[in-house]
Amino acid sequence: MAARQDASAADRPAFDLAAAVKDAGFAALVMLGLSVPILALRSDQNMSNQLVLAQRWDSVVLACVLVFFGRIAVAWLRRGKAAAPSKPFVLPPVLARTGPPAALAFVVAYPLLMLALNGPLGSIKWIDNFGIQILIYIMLGWGLNIVVGLAGLLDLGYVAFYAVGAYSYALIATQVIPATYPDLGLWAFWICLPISGILAGLWGIILGFPVLRLRGDYLAIVTLAFGEIIRLVLINWVEFSGGYAGISSIPRPSFFGIPFNASDIGFAAVFGLEFSPIYRTIFLFYVILILALLTAAISVRLRRLPVGRAWEALREDEIACRSLGINTTNTKLTAFAIGAMFGGFAGCFFAARQGFISPESFVFLESAQILAIVVLGGMGSLAGVVIAAILLVGGIEILRELDFLKQVFGPDFDATQYRMLIFGLAMVLMMLWKPRGLISTREPSIVHRERKAISGSLVKEGHG
């Protein structure tokens, strides 16, 4: 129905109000149907734990009216535009050259900027909840980008490797090191970081091997299943992982052997500063920044190496790859293993930053969120991942901050309960708006004479 209207709108740019009203009326009617039981009635337990129904017909009317006028507004905005295909988004060359260095300079200065603006205590939230949180997801996005964006292997269980990294660090740092070399306690993070990455990479190979011949959605579902199996085992194998309770008192990273505490050998005392928790937060910020940049640097390098080109070729056409003598099994496994390794690094950092981990942190939703960042960013695009991570993760975090909404909707209004609702909605809307992601052009990995970006419509998304 919409297609027919779009076509007629192209012939005749004038806004057809009657049709729009009719369409909006229909949409409002559908909204009424959708909201009849589930919005109009609310079930609540009474004192004796029985369900009672409450009615909210005012909300139903409001929803229908909103849909009606929203639909008209959309029709008005789209008038005459339907036929023109949306142009792919290409960064202007100046911005493409100066953008990344400028962004990097901003990120490096960010903690100090926040410190100057908000003072030591006020800035923890900004550096930790926004800075570190977003950087973790950028790193995870870049890691998963190798698997999904470059090699075209759809992985819905990426969080499993994040969990392997986190639990590796947590278990080694709380059990193995104190039992064997307690003197190394302060160095635990730095020792475990590579170990976590390697273990996660090994798990990438173990889980990757059986699923390599699967394609597309099947691969996605199996990786989801593996992710859930790992989480369920972590929940149920209590002796190993602490079950639901998780693992607490995980050692925090030290400043290369100097702990961040109020003692005499602590960071503040050694550097003659007044003790404040902000130093550790700032230090963690730079650690994850360096880890993320390392991920980016290695990704960029890998793309220009034969293995990276083979990944992209695999995404384009697996059969052609095999006809050219490329061992597709090994190529896919390296993508899985390297992607998993970065997930493991990020997991190790996550455990060290939180000091506490439990299976709650490694649910399917996390995998979905990381995948959404990669797909929304535009598959294979490092800059796209950054923008998408800021939008999605930063957007969710900012919903915590919206206290002023209480003044609009009354004191009972709790913005945080809408976070995931808005997140889900955003995922759907962003796909409708840009199905190929924000940056859908592809940069060639090698240039003979002239660098040209490749339009996203030519780039394949992989078959498995």
Partner 1 sequence: MTAPLLSLHHLSMRFGGLLAVNDVSFDVRRGEITALIGPNGAGKTTVFNCITGFYKPTEGMIALTHEDGTRFLLERLPDYRINEKARVARTFQNIRLFQGMTVLENLLVAQHNPLMAASGWTVLGVLGIGGYRRREQEAVDKAVAWLERIGLVDRADDPAGDLPYGDQRRLEIARAMCTDPVLLCLDEPAAGLNPRESLELNALLRSVRDRDGTSVLLIEHDMSVVMEISDHVVVLDYGIKIADGAPDEIRNDPKVIAAYLGVEDEEVAAVEAEVGA
Partner 2 sequence: MEVFVQQLINGLTLGSIYGLIAIGYTMVFGIIGMVNFAHGDVFMVGGFIALLFFMVMTAWLGLAVLPALMIVLVLGMVFTGLWNWAIERVAYRPLRGSFRLAPLISAIGMSILLSNLVQVLQGPRNKPVPPMFTQVLPLFEQNGYTVGIGYKQIVIMVVTAVSLAIFWYVVQKTPLGRAQRACEQDQKMASLLGINVDATISLTFVMGAALAAVAGVMYIMYYGVVNFSDGFIPGVKAFTAAVLGGIGSLPGAVIGGLLIGLIETMWSAYFSIDYKDVAAFSILAITLVFLPTGLFGRPEVEKV
Assess 33 for contact with partner 2 (CB under 8 A): yes
* Two structure tokens written together for 89: 């988004």
Supply the minimum distance, in Å, between the C-beta of residue 170 and partner 2.
21
Assess 418 for contact with partner 2 (CB under 8 A): yes
Is the CB of 48 or the CB of 323 nearer to partner 1? Answer: 323
Amino acid identity for residue 25 in this structure: G
Interaction mask 268-307, partner 2, x per CB under 8 A: ----------------------------------------
Supply the minimum distance, in Å, between the C-beta of residue 249 and partner 2.
26
Supply the minimum distance, in Å, between the C-beta of residue 232 and partner 1.
34
End-to-end Cα spacing for the chain: 34
Assess 49 for contact with partner 2 (CB under 8 A): yes
Q: What is the per-residue DSSP string for 309-346?
A: HHHHHHHH-HHHHHHTT--HHHHHHHHHHHHHHHHHHH
Is the CB of 221 or the CB of 307 nearer to partner 2? Answer: 221
Is the CB of 153 or the CB of 386 nearer to partner 2? Answer: 153
Touching partner 2, residues 60-119 (CB under 8 A): none
Nearest to 146 by CA among 320, 287, 319, 341: 341
Backbone angles phi, psi at 312, to 5 degrees: -70, -35
Is the CB of 239 or the CB of 450 nearer to partner 1? Answer: 450
| CB burial readout 100-135, b (16+ within 10 A) else e | eeeeeeebeebbeebbeeeeeeebbbbbbbbbbbbb
Is the CB of 126 or the CB of 142 nearer to partner 1? Answer: 142
Interaction mask 310-329, partner 2, x per CB under 8 A: ---------x----------
Amino acid identity for residue 100 in this structure: P
Is the CB of 227 or the CB of 343 nearer to partner 2? Answer: 227
Q: What's the rounded Cα separation, in Å, for the pair 289 and 295?
A: 10
> Using an 8 Å Cβ cutoff, are 372 and 427 in contact?
yes
> Using an 8 Å Cβ cutoff, are 139 and 313 in contact?
no
Assess 220 for contact with partner 2 (CB under 8 A): yes
The DSSP secondary-structure symbol of 47 reads T
267, 270, 295 from 275: Cα distances, Å: 8, 10, 32
Q: Residue 447 binds what, of partner 1, partner 2, none (CB under 5 to 8 Å, by partner type)?
A: partner 1
Supply the minimum distance, in Å, between the C-beta of residue 118 and partner 2.
31
Supply the minimum distance, in Å, between the C-beta of residue 156 and partner 2.
8
Q: What's the rounded Cα separation, in Å, for the pair 310 and 155?
A: 18
Is the CB of 68 or the CB of 345 nearer to partner 1? Answer: 345
Assess 402 for contact with partner 2 (CB under 8 A): no
* β-strand partners of 43: 53
Assess 379 for contact with partner 2 (CB under 8 A): yes
> Using an 8 Å Cβ cutoff, are 156 and 367 in contact?
yes
Q: What's the rounded Cα separation, in Å, for the pair 363 and 367?
A: 7
* Two structure tokens written together for 116: 């100057």
Residues that bind partner 1 (CB under 8 A): 298, 301-302, 305-307, 309-310, 312-313, 316-317, 319-328, 334, 442, 444-452, 454-455, 458-460
Answer positive or negative: Cα dihedral of 459, 314, 430, 373.
negative
> Using an 8 Å Cβ cutoff, are 412 and 393 in contact?
no
Interaction mask 233-262, partner 2, x per CB under 8 A: x--x--------------------------
Interaction mask 179-218, partner 2, x per CB under 8 A: -------------------------------xx-xx-xxx
Is the CB of 326 or the CB of 371 nearer to partner 2? Answer: 371
Q: What's the rounded Cα separation, in Å, for the pair 127 and 276?
A: 14
Interaction mask 119-158, partner 2, x per CB under 8 A: -----------------------------------x----
Q: Residue 86 binds what, of partner 2, partner 1, none (CB under 5 to 8 Å, by partner type)?
A: none
Length of the chain: 464
Q: What's the rounded Cα separation, in Å, for the pair 166 and 225?
A: 19
| Identified binder of partner 2 from the candidate list 23, 128, 155, 228, rule CB under 8 A | 228
Backbone angles phi, psi at 172, to 5 degrees: -65, -45
> Using an 8 Å Cβ cutoff, are 272 and 279 in contact?
no
> Using an 8 Å Cβ cutoff, are 317 and 460 in contact?
yes
> Using an 8 Å Cβ cutoff, are 6 and 13 in contact?
no
> Using an 8 Å Cβ cutoff, are 356 and 250 in contact?
yes
Assess 365 for contact with partner 2 (CB under 8 A): yes
Supply the minimum distance, in Å, between the C-beta of residue 64 and partner 2.
13
Q: Residue 98 binds what, of partner 2, partner 1, none (CB under 5 to 8 Å, by partner type)?
A: none
Residues contributing to the site for partner 2 (CB under 8 A)? 30, 33-34, 36-39, 41-45, 49-53, 154, 210-211, 213-214, 216-218, 220-222, 224-226, 228-229, 232-233, 236, 319, 364-365, 368, 371-372, 375-376, 379, 417-418, 420-421, 423-428, 431-432, 435-436, 461
